[in-house]
Amino acid sequence: MSEKKETDYEVGQDNVQVLGLDIHNPVFAVSGLTIVAFVFFSLVFREQAGEFFGWLRVALTSRFDWVFMIACNIFVVFSLLLIVTPYGSIRLGGADAKPDYSYAGWISMLFAAGMGIGLVFWGVAEPISHYGASLGGVATGEDGLRTDWAPLGAAADNPQGARDLAMAATIFHWGLHPWAIYAVVALALAFFSFNKGLPLTMRSVFYPIFGEATWGPLGHIIDVLAVFATIFGLATSLGLGATQALAGLNYLFGVPVTDGMKVLLIIIITAFALISVVAGLDKGVKRLSEANMILAAALLVLVLIVGPTVAILSGFFTNLVDYAVQLPALSNWIGREDTNFMQGWTTFYWAWWISWSPFVGMFIARISRGRTVREFVTCVLLIPTLVGALWMSVFGNAGLEQVMAGGAEALQDAGLELKMFVMFEAFPMSSLLSLVGIILVVVFFVTSSDSGSLVIDTITAGGKTNAPTAQRVFWCILEGAIAIVLLLGGGLGALQAAAIATGFPFAIILVLMCVSIFIGLSREKR
């Protein structure tokens, strides 16, 4: 049983029932109309949109990188403290609550929703990018500022040092920091919904701070921002996924890489996501997520077997040590000279994770009833960090072994979206590996889209988790439309700019969220 409600506010009391829909007024209208208007104007003014996105990314990352760096460090420290404090014994849903899902089903869903497409896209591309930049050493312009993209002080003409730095930087971007972002949002939503009886929306998290004002205009703004962050964060990932899947299809079967084909691919995969959305959480999303994890594990094992097995396995432990050693320096934002790396890589990643956090956080919250706070944070923060490090070590080490052995110019020169497929060429069963990789991207694509649609629908339905299916269909279609518009309006740069733009205001909201969680947990009976 959950605790006694702290407010008289009822879930859905501000909703409007019209045309068979059950929508929150004004969150649905404001967010929906604004996004539709954005899609329209971006299509009509494609050139201007491309220029704007190009300016926006640089402006935000160069001026506000410190905001993202400080905020994400706070999330890591806060999450780790929750594991060791007495608050860790509090159970989500009350003392007698039982988990809704097994460990296997629970972890599969949270991991598939959390960063599936990104792991496949960047698993080979990022380590090789950092390695090349680090090996090249520090380069400065006439103004004395660094022009290279290497992390920290680079490792000029030191292949082993460049490799260690590349893997440490990669795991840094996929380790504790992103999962701490998810853990904070998911814990806040689960606790205030299951233990305090508040609606499952972002605004509920701030009830200890703002009181009844949470249900007014201030709460509307928070929920609308959550919708924007979610849909643009998802569109970024869907755009990356479509780019990589099409590159793989071109590499394997000669499918032309054109804007038209990218649009067609997004439409096809959005259609599959619609089927899953209509099926619902347990039948659609859960089954797809579990299938996804089996497929991902199969690809991981195949690469481990056909690749340099000993080097990969030994490299995993070395990479974890390198990550731990470099973590303080990579997390620091003061006096950094590697501004291209910090702003172009780290700040983008932190903004991307933050823009995903309402979606992933709410999804994880919905499937986490019955877990203790300690169990929750451990499984949402530490286990995925280790799995992410393993994935990056297997794919990153396999790619780096080829590059460091020499004769892998094609792998080094390949586009980011192609590096995984080019790496597979050196292995037995390369076509099978590439085909499994494409399928994995597509299924991750579908699980992200359908999960996101369920979450956005919950927010725009005032916290109702059983709103009419037509609403979920609307948001699923809109996600695909935005991914198409952003790709047409500036490619990956536009996608990254959108993620950063929506992640920036939400970084501030998440810091406030930590305060609210602490207040809520301190008032809870343990």
pLDDT of residue 243: 81
Decide if 203 is inside a domain. yes
CB distance 333 to 66 below 8 Å = yes
CA atoms 23, 27, 31, 36: torsion sign: positive
pLDDT digits (tens, 9 = 90+) for 201-241: 899 999 999 999 999 999 999 999 888 888 887 777 777 77
Question: What is the DSSP-derived secondary structure letter of residue 283?
Answer: I
Measured in degrees and rounded to the nearest 5, phi and psi for residue 168 equal -60, -45
Decide if 507 is inside a domain. yes
Q: Is the bond preceding 26 in cis, omega lying within 30 degrees of 0? A: yes
Tell me how long the chain is: 526
105 pLDDT more than 60: yes
Decide if 153 is inside a domain. no
Q: Which of 16-25, 81-90, 424-433, 473-482 has the lowest mean pLDDT?
A: 16-25
Read off the CATH number of the domain in which 511 is found. Answer: 1.20.1740
Mean per-residue pLDDT of the chain: 86
Residues 6+ apart with CB under 8 A from 159: 135, 404
Which stretch, 49-63, 110-124, 197-211, 508-522, has highest mean pLDDT?
Answer: 508-522
Alpha carbons 193 and 369: distance in angstroms, whole number: 10
Decide if 49 is inside a domain. yes
Band of residue 3 on the pLDDT scale cut at 50, 70, 90: very low
Mean pLDDT computed over 388-402: 94
Alpha carbons 506 and 512: distance in angstroms, whole number: 10
Structure tokens at 106: 């629970």
Q: Is 407 exposed, middle or buried (0-12, 13-18, 19+ CB in 10 A)?
A: exposed
Structure tokens at 213: 């004002």
* Residue 493 DSSP SS3: helix
445 pLDDT more than 70: yes
Which pTM does this prediction carry? 0.89
Decide if 480 is inside a domain. yes
* Residue 385 DSSP SS3: helix
Q: Which of 139-143, 170-174, 488-492 has the lowest mean pLDDT?
A: 488-492
Query: In which domain, by residue range, is 309 found?
Result: 19-144+163-252+260-331+355-523
DSSP string, 303-318: HHHHS-HHHHHHHHHH
Q: Which of 255-264, 375-384, 499-508 has the lowest mean pLDDT?
A: 499-508
Decide if 87 is inside a domain. yes
Question: What is the DSSP-derived secondary structure letter of residue 238?
Answer: H
Band of residue 2 on the pLDDT scale cut at 50, 70, 90: very low
Decide if 242 is inside a domain. yes
Decide if 336 is inside a domain. no
**Could you tell me which residues are beta bridge partners of residue 15?**
24
Structure tokens at 275: 């089927």
The HSE-up count of residue 51 (CA atoms within 13 Å, CB side) is: 3
pLDDT of residue 128: 96
The total number of structural domains that make up the chain = 1
180 pLDDT more than 70: yes
